[in-house]
Chain A
Amino acid sequence: MDTFLQQIINGLVQGAIYALVALGYTMVYGIMGLINFAHGEVVMLGTLIAITSITFLIKAGIAVPLAALIGISLSVLACMALGWSLERIAYRPLRHAPRLTPLITAIGMSIVLQNLAMMIWGRNYMIFPPLIEKTQFEVAGASFTNVQVIIVTVAALAMGGLLWLVYRTRLGMAMRATAQNPAVAGLMGVNANRVIASAFVIGSALGAVAGVMVGSYYEIAHYQMGFMLGLKAFTAAVLGGIGNLAGAMAGGVLLGLIEALGAGYIGDLTGGFLGSHYQDIFAFIVLIFVLMFRPSGLFGEKTGDRA
């Protein structure tokens, strides 16, 4: 039983991170039907920028909480700028191009960002500076740390903020309108360029927050970390029904739980034949099964059978 509870806790934490990254994919997809393959790299850059700036500030003698605050804000701002420029450089010129064209520029940008990061930060693992003192809690045989609690809380707050933004503000209304029908939204006075740019900027900000979480959770970071994280988050977004905000959140948490429980129990299930290194397979197998029965994800709207 304690393994079960323990894996649920681990899964929730991982799932909260997936959900935040998945939101970045799903917002862009919902509005312009594009897979922003470079989003994982934005998250990676968010982590690395946070590490560098926080380490620098702490060395300069600034108190840790203040350094963390400044460093995280810097990383969020940098990622927002990056998201905005990505849209301007790689996607906006191609808005009316054939469907696969922006996918290739996205891949190109992803290669560029990854190698840029490697040129700046090198190939080595970076240590994420400890921001708060870690304390361990025990509940019913399962243990968790205050870092995990903070990650889940911040993720929940960020998601709540996003929902408020999308469902309660004028910008959010413009976003929903553009997602439904860009041409008609344009006729109603919505500036599509601004809406799309803001989707990229907000998604990247959430990505930076997620990046800081990943960094402080695993305590290390690397220029290649964005790839797998982005892949998993994208899987989560599709699992929930891509383009659907609540779906991305649910998909992220679900994926985290599936992975954690899968890793915890796969050995028992297969009589020791498959070990926990098959963890990554779970995400994809569940995805394939879900899509077999619900071809547009768990919460995705059924698209009509039209070309």
Chain B
Amino acid sequence: MRLWLQSLTPRALFGLALVAVALLALPFVAAMGGQAWVRIANFAILYIFLALGLNIVVGFAGLLDLGYIAFYAVGAYLWALLASPHFGLHWPFWAILPLGAMVACCFGVILGAPTLKLRGDYLAIVTLGFGEIVRIFINNLNAPLNITNGPQGINLIDPVAIGEFKFSTTSTLFGITFTGPQKYYYLLVLLALAVIVINFRLQHSRIGRAWQAIREDEIAAKAVGINTRNIKLLAFAMGASFGGVAGGIFAAMQGFVSPESFSLIESVMILAMVVLGGMGHIPGVILGAVLLSVLPEALRYAVVPVQKMLFGEVLADPESLRMLVFGLALVLVMRFKPAGLLPSPERRRELAEKV
């Protein structure tokens, strides 16, 4: 770690320090606009988590997965079942999170195993079906044996807590008052940094290069001795375990889970984050996740005043107008930046060669 820091130029070091300060100050700046904005920031980080997990499958290994939200659901429900009054269990977070990662990882392999032979769009529809199957089971497993409490969801889920220190309530540390969302923010930033480092290390590891080889040409990858079966399963498993961890934190942060949060449109949104940002390029994916999670929320605040300013009254239903603008933004970005906002250097080179 020290070596890595020493290799940076003073300018880069300065930039890094600026980013660190901005990250530390963000929840307090956001809180000036209300705690809702801190929550939006938290969700943006959660989506970074998810988008990076999906990026392993779609961006690195080139396997189109439209059911990614299933792993998020598995992680969320595992937390909800093991730490809520529903079964009367209250496990600590350090037990649930690794378990959530492991269970989601198993689900990843269960999804991966039958789909190894499939290509492109066939894979997409099977993963999509898998996501729907998981959601339908969660929605209906309340009878005859009540496991998931069905469409009502599970309530009163325990927050993340270290001993007596709970992340959900306001508390004062070192003379500064932290609200619940602000505390979660710092926890999420720490986790997200870990995830980003893991992703960078993965991308440039032997496994990462094997994924890239499979993405570019599976037959050639096999020919040079890559065990494509295991490497593909590994991509599904690793992507899934990130989803599982994110799901657990989601459940704890919200205190409530229901099947509604895990519909297909969520999988599609996460895929849109990956593609819009720049598939396979970690900074791009992060940018995509932040943009697509903050934009709909920002539009929520913008559509009513803008309409009033332009027409003097609210003409269109704000909720559908903001989604309409959001959909248009997706189309326009892809129209003018077909490889994403921040494409990976290789991708950019390929596009330049083609023209």
- What sequence of 0s and 1s flags, for each residue 102-118 of chain A, a beta carbon within 8 Å of any chain B beta carbon? 11110111111011101
Q: Which of B244-281 contact A (CB under 8 A)?
A: 264, 268, 271-272, 275-276, 279
With A104-B330, A234-B125 as known contacts, state yes or no: A115 contacts B136, CB within 8 Å: no
Q: Are A284 and B140 in contact (CB under 8 A)?
A: no
With A97-B339, A98-B347, A115-B321 as known contacts, state yes or no: A238 contacts B121, CB within 8 Å: yes
Q: Which residues of A contact B136 (CB under 8 A)?
A: 277-278, 280-281
Q: Are A305 and B126 in contact (CB under 8 A)?
A: no
Majority DSSP secondary structure for residues of B touching A: helix
Q: How far is the CB of A62 from chain B (nearest CB, A)?
A: 31
Taking the complex as formed, is A94 at the interface, i.e. its CB lies under 8 A from any CB of chain B?
A: yes
Q: Are B330 and A295 in contact (CB under 8 A)?
A: no
Majority DSSP secondary structure for residues of A touching B: helix
Q: Are A295 and B275 in contact (CB under 8 A)?
A: no
Taking the complex as formed, is B331 at the interface, i.e. its CB lies under 8 A from any CB of chain A?
A: yes
Task: Give A100 to B120 CA distance when docked, in angstroms.
Answer: 10
Which candidate, B38-46, B183-191, B216-224, is the interface stretch facing chain A? B216-224
17 contacts between A and B (CB under 8 A): A90-B331, A94-B335, A98-B279, A98-B347, A100-B275, A105-B334, A108-B330, A111-B327, A112-B327, A238-B125, A274-B140, A277-B140, A278-B136, A281-B137, A285-B133, A296-B122, A306-B219
Which of B58, B64, B114, B219 lies in contact with A288, CB distance below 8 A? B114
Total count of chain A residues near the partner, CB < 8 A = 55
Which of A29, A103, A275, A307 lies in contact with B140, CB distance below 8 A? A275
Q: Are A111 and B121 in contact (CB under 8 A)?
A: no
Q: Are B219 and A307 in contact (CB under 8 A)?
A: yes
Q: Could you list which residues of chain A lie within 8 angstroms of chain B, going by C-beta atoms?
A: 29, 33, 35, 89-90, 93-94, 96-105, 107-112, 114-116, 118-119, 231, 234-235, 238, 242, 272-275, 277-278, 280-281, 283-285, 287-288, 291-292, 295-297, 303, 305-307
With A115-B320, A119-B316, A280-B132 as known contacts, state yes or no: A107 contacts B118, CB within 8 Å: no
Task: Give A182 to B120 CA distance when docked, in angstroms.
Answer: 20
- What sequence of 0s and 1s flags, for each residue 124-156 of chain B, a beta carbon within 8 Å of any chain A beta carbon? 111011101100110110011000000000000
Total count of chain B residues near the partner, CB < 8 A = 55
Task: Give A234 to B121 CA distance when docked, in angstroms.
Answer: 11
Which of B143, B327, B338, B339 lies in contact with A110, CB distance below 8 A? B327
Q: Which residues of A contact B331 (CB under 8 A)?
A: 89-90, 105, 108-109, 112
Task: Give A204 to B176 CA distance when docked, in angstroms.
Answer: 60
Task: Give A108 to B143 CA distance when docked, in angstroms.
Answer: 37
Task: Give A306 to B218 CA distance when docked, in angstroms.
Answer: 8
Q: Are B220 and A105 in contact (CB under 8 A)?
A: no
Q: How far is the CB of B139 from chain A (nearest CB, A)?
A: 8
Q: Are A108 and B334 in contact (CB under 8 A)?
A: yes
Q: Which residues of A contact B353 (CB under 8 A)?
A: none
Which of A96, A118, A272 lies in contact with B144, CB distance below 8 A? A272
